[in-house]
Copies of this chain bind each other. A is one copy, B any other.
């Protein structure tokens, strides 16, 4: 069977099962519109640790354990673990999983990391190299602000175009066999750099990458937006979401109410002071695990196009006046019934 079905898209020979999905978030996320969907809401953003970075690792460890428990599996059953985060040298992930004793591939895709983990994980399983893979992504508002912008105690005002990094971790167990929503196709993004340099407007920096990916996906598969119940980008927020609609309209695609963004879903713009919306690796990861996964499981959503988006900047690149390259990765995820048809 030919697995490559287009320039950037592959179709799995046998759909890969998302056997479980778990999410842990901070209090602010718990107070948002998706509050009652999350598995665990942590009141203490420090998780009892001495630093925000170590707290993020606790979110990782706790959520991964929960994903295993929900799948009724243990770390010993996992052939690989694939995860990443925004912190320098990905210490949120490495310190979070280092006791788990699972062969590890560390990923860096910025906020597209959950898409990268699901993509590579699915291909490793469909390629015959694994039965079970643990995938996840995490971020922490305080650690991200300190690292990418300003230390929180400075109290620097945030511009209205900025997004709010989600605190939490979303993790899933991918399996060769079993029951659950299924990953059927993967479109892998290229780096797109439109020359934007404002690190407080990452929605604008990432929107062109999401558009490039959407156009490629529709071209590769011969589909249109109407073929999906929902199309969900990762963390473009209000500005990026609007830009995607505008740019896609120019390309002849109608992105109607079936298109939304995790950064819009997770916070209440009117009451939570999060400006342009949510962002961070955890934004797409926890929104998928908490909100969309159950709807795919129940069949309420039959076919979803899930597109985590990432801005590939660092504090150094920003300080050196460089542009913000961006990327997006897409997964076609179908309810069990839909995929069986």
Contacts and interface: CB of A to CB of B under 8 A. Distances in A.
Given A127-B127, A127-B128, 12 more contacts: A51-B316, A86-B89, A87-B316, A88-B89, A89-B108, A104-B190, A104-B327, A105-B109, A106-B108, A106-B312, A123-B123, A123-B127
Q: Size class of A's contact patch?
A: 35 or more
Nearest to A117: B105
Nearest to A51: B320
A135 interface: no
A79 B4 contact: yes
A196 interface: no
A3 interface: yes
A109 B106 contact: yes
A116 B105 CA distance: 7
B105 A106 contact: no
B94 A325 contact: yes
What's the number of copies of this chain in the assembled complex? 2
A202 interface: no
Interface in A279-333: 312-317, 320, 322, 325, 327
A53 B105 contact: no
A128 B14 CA distance: 13
A101 B190 contact: yes
29 contacts: A3-B127, A3-B128, A54-B320, A80-B188, A86-B89, A87-B316, A88-B89, A88-B314, A89-B110, A89-B313, A89-B314, A91-B313, A91-B314, A91-B317, A91-B322, A95-B322, A98-B191, A98-B325, A101-B190, A102-B190, A103-B188, A103-B189, A103-B190, A104-B188, A105-B109, A105-B120, A106-B109, A108-B108, A120-B120
Query: Which 5 A-B pairs rank lowest in CB-CB distance, beginning with the nearest?
Result: A127-B127, A89-B314, A103-B188, A98-B191, A94-B312
Interface in A123-177: 123-124, 126-130
Nearest to A319: B51
A94 B205 CA distance: 15
Contact of A53 (B101, B126, B320): B320
A200 to B, nearest CB: 16
Contacts of A107: 105-108
A66 interface: no
A8 interface: yes
Nearest to A7: B103
A50 B95 CA distance: 34
A335 interface: no
A25 interface: no
A116 B124 CA distance: 13
